[in-house]
Structure 1
Amino acid sequence: MNNFGRNLALWVIVALLLVALFNLFQPSGNSSQRGMQVAYSDFLNEVQQGHVRDATIQGRIVSGQLQDGRTFSTYTPEDPQLISKLTEKGVRVVARPEESDVNPLFQILISWFPMLLLIGVWVFFMRQMQGGGGRAMGFGKSKAKLLTEKQGRVTFEDVAGIEEAKSELEEVVDFLRDPQKFQRLGGKIPKGVLLVGPPGTGKTLLARSVAGEANVPFFTISGSDFVEMFVGVGASRVRDMFEQGKKNAPCIIFIDEIDAVGRHRGAGLGGGNDEREQTLNQMLVEMDGFESNEGVIIIAATNRPDVLDPALLRPGRFDRQVVVPNPDVNGRERILRVHMRKVPLASDVEPKVIARGTPGFSGADLANLVNEAALLAARTGRRTVGMHEFEQAKDKVLMGSERRSLVMSEAEKRMTAYHEAGHALMAISEEECDPVHKATIIPRGRALGLVMSLPEGDRYSKHKSKMNAELAMAMGGRVAEEIIFGADKVSNGASGDIKMATDLSRRMVTEWGMSDKIGMVAYGSNDQEVFLGHSVTQSKNLSEATAQAIDSEIRSIIDTAYQRAKKTLTERIEDLHALAKGLLEYETLSGDEIKSLLRGDPIVRDRPDEPVNQGRGSVPTSGRPNPRPETGGMQPAPSGA
């Protein structure tokens, strides 16, 4: 909108200048200055009567003054006798050359106006194609944007949950504030800092906070902005970016998603002459070449450090790597408090409880959680956001939105209820499984029903016995269907459970060395890409006998989990019926309510539309806030089934 306003103002000024030039080049004489218009016959009568004092002849226009002081003007035909008639009556005659009505300069301007207009339109469109860079052919100019306090200054107070990463960057802030402190002792600050972490952990925000703390210019650019279809453009933009940095030193240049331009060289087509590799070569030279870049610190961010070129990570370039992980429970609490500053909270909101129930959430996930809770409160007309809205928002983020409009038959509801009851009962029976947080047969997202488990706390590793327990829980849904409805009446709702069990078992065998038969040997997949010199080939690193042994061991692990689930559910058939009946009656049950049903106690709810809150959240143990198949999601039938 600002560019449009500037362009509109430019053309308005051009139009006003043209109008001014038109008025400037207008002929000075006009009809109003020549006096009153009279007929030619009346003019001749005045001459015959001797009333005309003087006359000025200019072409066929005769103007002059009468004896009484009045002025006149008339248009004459071709009359050769006119001069003699005037001189006979003693009229003073003045002759002037004929003038054009239009100034010659204005005629030249009019003739050149179409060409000037075409040139102006061409310049306008070229500027638009170059992103308003100010030059019609500015392909090689850097697209780095200089952020100032107008865009909002960010400091370390606005960044929470990543205290270790902040402490790593405090040294950079000290150098930018007082470079002499380090230079007196011969110390050199790292030229490049690489921020590595999963998406949404706050890498960009952390880089901005460094510039805000040091109060220095902050240039930001994306790695994809360097790459163009023309070879050499990216390298030119790198040179221009460093030139801008040197002029504003000390400063920070932030390159987001550097893996777009910093990938391993020699792995693509075109050898070493393609545009991306030329751009990377120029960046390597600028960061550690003959020219000094004192005061210019490069901060880059990526979530794929494994694909970066080794030359980019060596000392002298990005010689300091700062890991920005997902926050722990204390970090999540601090992040929630930061995002809750702008939200009116009810008195029952406890950030510590919400943080304890959201392990694995990143900073962006927590911001989305607070926003969803605020939207839910606004939708229901509330003035504050309460704990109930945060619980609903958490369920929406984890399990997806409820699809109450989906019409299910009573038979499908009954099968879904027993399927989810099988998952929930196995989770309760297996000591290594995480406690059940919630079970529902209301369709959410792509699943017809879900059982969500709650880890007791943040978990960074998982042992074999827990994996076997999770596999038994995953088999609980299919086993419950077989026990209640028979082997011929099972549904395809266990497809997600089977896929999860297969993937987990394969990793146990091929990656984690948890099979006595296969041993502690790592086997990659047959289509794994590996680097061999400067080329990428497809490696088939499994023999046929080994592949058969791996498949046999995966089948054995899954069959063992299946038999384990079948034994447990057969022994606890009455509990299975009680849970399924409760799900059909209430549709959604919390972990405490499931325990109450198994004890035979009645269910008491504070709110009729929601299960009792446990005060804890639920997330998959994989760490990502998405529902996973092992939590017992009964998947709908695929199209065409």
Structure 2
Amino acid sequence: MNNNRRNNNFTHNVLFYAVMFLCIMGIAYFFLGGNQSNGQSKTVSQTEFISELKSNKIKSVQLQPNGGVYHVTGTYRKPQTNNNSTSGFALATQRDSKVSQFESSVLESDVTVNQLQKYADRHNVKISTHAEESNSVWMNLLLTVLPLVIMIFFFYMMMGQAGQGGGGRGVMSFGKTKVKPADPKKNKVRFSDVAGEEEEKQELVEVVEFLKNPKKFTRLGAKIPSGVLLEGPPGTGKTLLARAVAGESGVPFFSISGSDFVEMFVGVGASRVRDLFDQAKKAAPSIIFIDEIDAIGRRRGNGMGGGNDEREQTLNQLLVEMDGFQGDEGVIVMAATNRSDVLDPALLRPGRFDRKILVGRPDVKGREAILRVHAKNKPISPDVDLKEIAKQTPGFVGADLANLLNEAALLAARRNKNEIDASDMDEAEDRVIAGPAKHDRVESAEERKTVAYHEAGHTIVGLVLNDARVVHKVTIVPRGRAGGYAIMLPREDQMLMSKKNAKEQIAGLMGGRAAEELIFKSQSSGASNDFEQATQIARAMVTQYGMSDKIGPVELQSSGQVFTGQGYDQSPYSQKTAALVDEEIRRILSEGHEEALHIIETHREQHKAIAEALLKYETLNEKEILSLYRTGKMPEKAQATANEAAYAKTFEESKRALERKEDEKRENKSDDTSATAQLAASEQPTQPPTPAQSTQPSAADKASSHEGQDQPESHDDTTDSDHDE
């Protein structure tokens, strides 16, 4: 049957191109060969030619023999009237036009060249004879047809490429889906490779069991969900879960992105949906996985694109295909999105995507499990505590944690280490949060001091208001756009945000500006990012969480309200309410600012101690911060670390001095190599510092700048998103 179909397709394609070729040839003949004459030439008969030659109207004649016929072309002495000339492109006859040339044909049996020469000699007419060209007709035909053949060839190649891109070989193959089923034997992903999502995996176990043993469910009258929707933030492992389901069940896995259905041609998306489901039904039991389904599943009727929008047609076809499922077909549709709020309600009703699984951000146990999975193939030093790293990375998803370990491995390789140690993990965490350190950035002493006291202000407020947050690290080393930053970590993972916690976060963000105002009696642009984060928290308190006494327990703005297809000009509340919202936001921010001023004012000595330590050491960890806050001094180990850093600096300076002296000796072409070796042995320190000791240069070794962008708590916004989920 397939062979007959191929033969029929081949026959239809050949006939199609043959008819097209004949049509193009006919058009070309009509325009190019139907009338060789133009407005400057006319065709005359043999009798007219001889008559005009005898009457002295012709100036010159050219003869060319061609198979017993003379092809005659000539020029008139004066332009003649062309009473019967027509143009191949003209629709009406052109009368009374003037021509200066003519064409004719003379049979060799009727007249000879000598006779024509006799007539020409009477009136001094020049006659020339050309040799016979046997291939002139074929040459003209070749020159006429060859460009058309080349054009048809390129047209055929273009249509063939377009057909192959659509999954087939014909012109109409745009409607074929590009996806091919993945080989179940090559899919090595299992549920054991997915960490930190135990509840999500448990929900998908039924899907795997149904694909392996459907009779277990059908004999009890149960019907497996026809669609499973995985929703959650980006990077949480939705696609990995779908691959794990396919790997565990061992069935064909059709994976396609939502954007692959949509093309510039109308109806292609719907055709590809039909073709995809036909392939899945033939390979049943199987899994169809549509990644980023919001590309075609957005809410209909939002006034965008009209009623014949290509995306809406694709969605309609998807709805029809999913609604037509039967329980014994063994085809399950899985889809992933991070914007389930924009999906069409018809797509989410029971019978289609009737099982929704939230793949959220992992908790501390989940993060530890994810770290252990990604650390399997990496040499980790014993001083690395993955549990502690999991506590230090709230809000990180699986992709962030994988990137964290990869950055640590890159740093260890850059430092020529054989293992990834704690210093590499610490630096990698800073790079993921704020970007790479910029030690070479130049800044003035005044600006550096401003940054130190600014970050010390965040730290002091965070230490005083430490019921929910703990100060983990503070630094004035510029990274990315931040001139410095302070990291505040929650004591434990939070799913809810209290009003007290929100106000403490706002006060902590205002600590940098409050310190500048108290110490320097001025304001800088370094608090711009602080204000952005604080304003977001205050607005959420007023419009979403109902934490304003004047507004009351009313939700005025949903977190997922933008671009949900509900319209763009609809205001969620009146102008009077909007003014009241702005007033409440300003009041909350002002209260946080006043509280920060009060805390720093009452803790001047601790604030100064932390700022001076930042100017000296540039980076302080949690233990050092607590020691400065309680005793005003750095712990003894920190002093030893400072001595080690100074020793590392001396070692590097002596090494560079030695290299300079060796370069000078090479330039002078000195032969006394033994003296150079003795000098190297005498100047080099007996024990170089370890790489971990040399990773913290002292404040005197480098200068950094404060760009006016302060970015503390780079991953603290996860509490809000967790609450929203």
Which TM-score bucket, shorter chain as reference? 0.7 to 0.9
Question: 1:145 aligns to what SS in structure 2?
Answer: coil
Matched, 1:518 2:613: no
Which residue among 556, 570, 574 is the counterpart of 2:601?
570
Classify 1:347/1:537 alpha carbon distance in 2 versus 1 (closer, same or farther; 3 Å). closer
Q: Distance in 1 between matches of 2:415 and 2:556?
A: 54
Contact 2:542-2:581 within 8 A present in 1 as well: yes
Question: 2:469 aligns to what SS in structure 1?
Answer: coil
* Equivalent residue number for residue 633 of structure 2: 601
> What's the CA shift string for 1:233-287, capped at 9, x where partnerless?
1110000001101110110010000010011111143432111111111111111
Q: Distance in 2 between matches of 1:394 and 1:526?
A: 29
RMSD: 3.0
Q: Distance in 2 between matches of 1:618 and 1:538?
A: 34
Q: Distance in 2 between matches of 1:282 and 1:452?
A: 50
Matched, 1:508 2:603: no
Contact 1:423-1:474 within 8 A present in 2 as well: yes
Q: Distance in 1 between matches of 2:298 and 2:257?
A: 14
* Equivalent residue number for residue 113 of structure 2: none
* Equivalent residue number for residue 620 of structure 1: 715
Matched, 1:366 2:366: no
> What's the CA shift string for 1:322-344, capped at 9, x where partnerless?
11111112221221121112212
How far apart are 1:300 and its partner, in Å? 0.6
Contact 2:258-2:293 within 8 A present in 1 as well: yes
* Equivalent residue number for residue 453 of structure 1: 488
Residues 358-367 or 130-139, more deviating: 130-139
Contact 1:530-1:538 within 8 A present in 2 as well: no
How far apart are 1:359 and its partner, in Å? 1.8
How far apart are 1:618 and its partner, in Å? 7.9
Query: What letter matches 2:177 in structure 1?
Result: S
TM-score normalised by structure 2 residue count: 0.66
Query: What letter matches 2:634 in structure 1?
Result: P
Which residue among 424, 428, 439 is the counterpart of 1:404?
439
Task: Name structure 2 gaps, 5 residues minimum.
Answer: 1-143, 642-691, 697-711
Which residue among 148, 153, 169 is the counterpart of 1:135?
169
Question: 1:142 aligns to what SS in structure 2?
Answer: coil
Q: Distance in 1 between matches of 2:468 and 2:520?
A: 26
How far apart are 1:302 and its partner, in Å? 0.6
1:13-28 mapped onto 2 (5 Å cutoff)? none
* Equivalent residue number for residue 527 of structure 2: 494
Classify 1:343/1:625 alpha carbon distance in 2 versus 1 (closer, same or farther; 3 Å). farther
Q: Distance in 2 between matches of 1:444 and 1:148?
A: 45
Contact 1:245-1:296 within 8 A present in 2 as well: yes
Q: Distance in 1 between matches of 2:438 and 2:185?
A: 43
Contact 2:347-2:353 within 8 A present in 1 as well: yes
Classify 1:291/1:430 alpha carbon distance in 2 versus 1 (closer, same or farther; 3 Å). closer
Query: What letter matches 1:514 in structure 2?
Result: M
Q: Distance in 1 between matches of 2:245 and 2:573?
A: 49
* Equivalent residue number for residue 616 of structure 2: 585
* Equivalent residue number for residue 427 of structure 2: 392
Contact 1:526-1:538 within 8 A present in 2 as well: no
Question: 1:148 aligns to what SS in structure 2?
Answer: coil
* Equivalent residue number for residue 296 of structure 2: 261
Which residue among 573, 583, 595 is the counterpart of 1:542?
573
Q: Distance in 2 between matches of 1:180 and 1:116?
A: 61
Question: 1:563 aligns to what SS in structure 2?
Answer: helix
> What's the CA shift string for 1:264-321, capped at 9, x where partnerless?
1111434321111111111111111387871111111111111111111111111111
Residues 540-549 or 472-481, more deviating: 540-549
Contact 1:513-1:522 within 8 A present in 2 as well: yes
Question: 1:494 aligns to what SS in structure 2?
Answer: helix
1:341-360 mapped onto 2 (5 Å cutoff)? 341-360=376-395
* Equivalent residue number for residue 19 of structure 1: none
Matched, 1:330 2:365: yes
Which residue among 201, 208, 211 is the counterpart of 2:246?
211
How far apart are 1:473 and its partner, in Å? 1.2
Query: What letter matches 2:278 in structure 1?
Result: E
Q: Distance in 1 between matches of 2:178 and 2:605?
A: 68
Classify 1:112/1:379 alpha carbon distance in 2 versus 1 (closer, same or farther; 3 Å). farther
Contact 2:242-2:334 within 8 A present in 1 as well: yes
Q: Distance in 1 between matches of 2:164 and 2:362?
A: 38
How far apart are 1:619 and its partner, in Å? 6.4
Contact 1:358-1:619 within 8 A present in 2 as well: no
1:155-304 mapped onto 2 (5 Å cutoff)? 155-289=190-324, 294-304=329-339
Q: Distance in 2 between matches of 1:422 and 1:356?
A: 24
Classify 1:153/1:112 alpha carbon distance in 2 versus 1 (closer, same or farther; 3 Å). farther
Q: Distance in 2 between matches of 1:180 and 1:231?
A: 41
Contact 1:162-1:324 within 8 A present in 2 as well: yes
- Give the length in aligned residue pairs: 511
Query: What letter matches 1:553 in structure 2?
Result: E
Q: Distance in 2 between matches of 1:321 and 1:291?
A: 20
Contact 1:438-1:591 within 8 A present in 2 as well: yes
> What's the CA shift string for 1:40-86, capped at 9, x where partnerless?
xxxxxxxxxxxxxxxxxxxxxxxxxxxxxxxxxxxxxxxxxxxxxxx
Matched, 1:559 2:577: no
Query: What letter matches 1:542 in structure 2?
Result: Y
Classify 1:526/1:376 alpha carbon distance in 2 versus 1 (closer, same or farther; 3 Å). closer
How far apart are 1:220 and its partner, in Å? 0.5
Matched, 1:314 2:346: no
Question: 2:490 aligns to what SS in structure 1?
Answer: coil
Q: Distance in 2 between matches of 1:428 and 1:303?
A: 36
Classify 1:340/1:528 alpha carbon distance in 2 versus 1 (closer, same or farther; 3 Å). closer
Classify 1:268/1:370 alpha carbon distance in 2 versus 1 (closer, same or farther; 3 Å). farther
* Equivalent residue number for residue 475 of structure 1: 510
Classify 1:541/1:118 alpha carbon distance in 2 versus 1 (closer, same or farther; 3 Å). closer
Q: Distance in 2 between matches of 1:165 and 1:526?
A: 24
Contact 2:514-2:596 within 8 A present in 1 as well: yes
Classify 1:287/1:205 alpha carbon distance in 2 versus 1 (closer, same or farther; 3 Å). same
Task: Name structure 1 gaps, 5 residues minimum.
Answer: 1-110, 612-616, 627-641
How far apart are 1:384 and its partner, in Å? 1.8
1:55-66 mapped onto 2 (5 Å cutoff)? none
1:621-636 mapped onto 2 (5 Å cutoff)? 621-623=716-718
Q: Distance in 2 between matches of 1:155 and 1:584?
A: 51
Question: 2:443 aligns to what SS in structure 1?
Answer: coil
Query: What letter matches 1:506 in structure 2?
Result: R
How far apart are 1:579 and its partner, in Å? 1.1
* Equivalent residue number for residue 5 of structure 1: none
TM-score normalised by structure 1 residue count: 0.74
Residues 269-278 or 164-173, more deviating: 269-278
Query: What letter matches 1:540 in structure 2?
Result: S
Contact 1:399-1:444 within 8 A present in 2 as well: yes
Contact 1:526-1:541 within 8 A present in 2 as well: no
How far apart are 1:468 and its partner, in Å? 1.2
Q: Distance in 2 between matches of 1:248 and 1:112?
A: 49
Question: 1:262 aligns to what SS in structure 2?
Answer: coil
Contact 1:442-1:448 within 8 A present in 2 as well: yes
The percentage of aligned residue pairs carrying the same residue is 53
Contact 1:345-1:385 within 8 A present in 2 as well: yes
Contact 1:401-1:444 within 8 A present in 2 as well: yes
Classify 1:143/1:490 alpha carbon distance in 2 versus 1 (closer, same or farther; 3 Å). same
